[in-house]
Structure 1
Amino acid sequence: MEDILRPIYQERASHKNTIGVIIVEKKGEAVSSITDTFDAVLLVIIKDSEQSVQIKHYEFNENKAALHIVDENQLNEWVLLGSNRKVIEWLMNGRVLFDRNEYIHNLRNELEMFPRDYRKLKMGVEFAKLIRRYLEGKKFYDSKQYLDAFNYVVHALHHLARLAVVENGFHPEVLVWGQVKQIEPEIYKLYEKLIEGEETLEKNLELLFLASDFLISSKIELGSEHLLEVLSSKDEPWTYEDIMNHSQLTHYSIDLSIMIEFLIERGYIHVHKVETKGQHIYHRCYSVESN
């Protein structure tokens, strides 16, 4: 298959802004989620592109292939946020066809080493997503919207599972529950109970919220370590705008605000009221609560 696709990837490799090309081929006869049902995927990584992603589909000899042309910045965002988890599988296990200045070689080494600072940021992002899904699920549960609550709790458990995998020094893969079953079976059992529980949905959710609250509480310091370290980097309180625009916190995106409020309720962040020109109206600023 590589021989047939060679003209396509060689043409891309000849461009000066192309820094790597990887091929991922379907294994066996079964439909593969890793390759999005295609027989082969070509991943072309480029620098400084106006389009962050371009995708082209090809067909030949009753086979089909997909070409993904991805800007380096987009690739890094996917790896960090886990928003395109197949990419890590492609990067780690795909066959390298072109590697300018050992870009892919060095990227693979970094992914395998999974540096502590990178893990802290990734755990922070997962924890923020976990908090949002959990609290929204709890809101639906309290209003007796059990199917909506179920949907949010499944997502919350998924982020809890990914957090546990990162905590143990691994990248969350597409089949994350297979990893969690080995690493933290307690979280896996919660998921299993939610899906297969013989009680009513209301009762299953009630038990799950109790257990989840304990597990989330046990992960607070781990999941908030990165955010609290950034907020501790200066003595004066932060405005929310300063926090939101900090280069290390932009990846928290829309989940940042709810995570800060959660940490205020748990006593990790302190609120400072700063006077404005309006009577009885204050700016809200934030600092890390000293122990």
Structure 2
Amino acid sequence: MNMRPEESQQTYLRLLQKRLDVQAVLMLPESPFKEGAYYLIVAKLPEAEGTIRRILFQDQLIMEQWISIWQLEKGTVYGLEEKLAHMLACAEILIDHDGYMKQMKQKLFRLSDSLQKKLICREYSHLVLFFHQAKEWLQQGLALDAYHAFVQALHAWARLIVYEMGEHPQAALWAQVKQLDSSVYKLYEELSMNAETLEKRIELLVLAIEFAVTSRMKESVRFLIELMEAKAGPWRLQELMNHPAVQEADIQIPALIDKMVQRSFIQEVVCPDDENREQETCFILLS
């Protein structure tokens, strides 16, 4: 005799409740299938992270996605991947040993000052990088490549705005940005839907993004400035790029360094390399 979906799901959850490797279980409001349920399972061991299973349990379709406690703890320091953040925001907690997940959701969705600075710096560096690429391809007459880079630049700008407001980007990013900064939303709308030629639509963006890059720089690179202040003396480019906080946050250091030199936030100096008898360009902060 087939069990009703509700009974099957309760049996499934009771089995998860007893497992020693399961810390919490959440249910997503929507499943990618017409029938069945979608569960997000928080594991105590990192080995389970990334496991995705589509199973039949007592004739009922179930989707499992496993994440780890380590992945969530890391997210409180470096930020969560946007898709996972959206899933956690929407999910209902069904099993929560020791109240762990309730506390973790509060931590994950409260941006600390240090994490906010880091995420803003990351998105700003991506904005600068993609904008530079877009201008280069535009000058070479590669309109489609320039268009793609401008779309990426606008997405970085959109996420930057969201983080500036102390929020996390949602899956429907542009619906979110429309409420926070309608002018940037309109730029994206113009690029995507304007009846003008592709080249004309792209050209209209250049001045707007150039102004954003210039006007936002001081606040957007504060994380990098504070990192450089922690050390007396010059920084080598590779030293900055290899810094654990920079690597974890995916900050595009070369793109930022060029702009910061142009705006006199930092200065290029020569660092002698006695071992190789070479001279390397290094960078120091200007007060």
Bucket of the pairwise TM-score, normalised by the shorter protein: 0.7 to 0.9
**In the aligned structure 2, how far is the partner of 1:142 from the partner of 1:76?**
44
Using structure 1 for the length normalisation, give the TM-score: 0.85
Which runs of no fewer than 5 residues in structure 2 stay unpaired? none
Q: Please tell me whether the aligned partners of residues 54 and 63 of structure 2 are also in contact (alpha carbons under 8 angstroms).
A: yes
**In the aligned structure 2, how far is the partner of 1:173 from the partner of 1:103?**
23
Aligned-residue CA RMSD (Å): 2.5
One-letter identity of the residue aligned with 1:273: V
Residue equivalent to 1:23: 27
- The DSSP-based 3-state class of the residue aligned with 1:67 is strand
Residue equivalent to 1:14: 18
Using structure 2 for the length normalisation, give the TM-score: 0.86
The question of 1:131 aligning with 2:128 is answered yes
Paired residues in the alignment total 280
Deviation of 1:178 after TM superposition, in Å, equals 1.0
Larger deviation, residues 174-183 vs 216-225:
216-225
Which runs of no fewer than 5 residues in structure 1 stay unpaired? 27-34
**In the aligned structure 2, how far is the partner of 1:81 from the partner of 1:138?**
30
Q: Structure 1 pair 104/51, CA: closer, same or farther in 2 (3 Å)? A: closer
Deviation of 1:76 after TM superposition, in Å, equals 5.3
- The DSSP-based 3-state class of the residue aligned with 2:209 is helix
Q: Structure 1 pair 100/240, CA: closer, same or farther in 2 (3 Å)? A: farther
Residue equivalent to 2:43: 46
4+ residue runs over 6 A deviation: 60-63
Correspondence for 2:9 among 1, 5, 11: 5
One-letter identity of the residue aligned with 1:5: Q
- The DSSP-based 3-state class of the residue aligned with 2:95 is strand
How much identity, in percent, do the aligned residues show?
A: 26
One-letter identity of the residue aligned with 1:69: W
Q: Structure 1 pair 179/167, CA: closer, same or farther in 2 (3 Å)? A: same
**In the aligned structure 2, how far is the partner of 1:61 from the partner of 1:18?**
21
Correspondence for 1:115 among 109, 112, 117: 112
The question of 1:189 aligning with 2:193 is answered no
Residue equivalent to 1:31: none
**Mapping of 1:36-115 within 5 angstroms?**
36-37=32-33, 39-59=36-56, 64-75=61-72, 80=78, 83=81, 85-115=82-112
Task: Provide, for residues 101-130 of structure 1, a one-character-per-residue CA deviation record: whole Å limited to 9, x for no partner.
Answer: 222111221234322222111111111222
Q: Structure 1 pair 220/241, CA: closer, same or farther in 2 (3 Å)? A: same
Deviation of 1:276 after TM superposition, in Å, equals 2.0
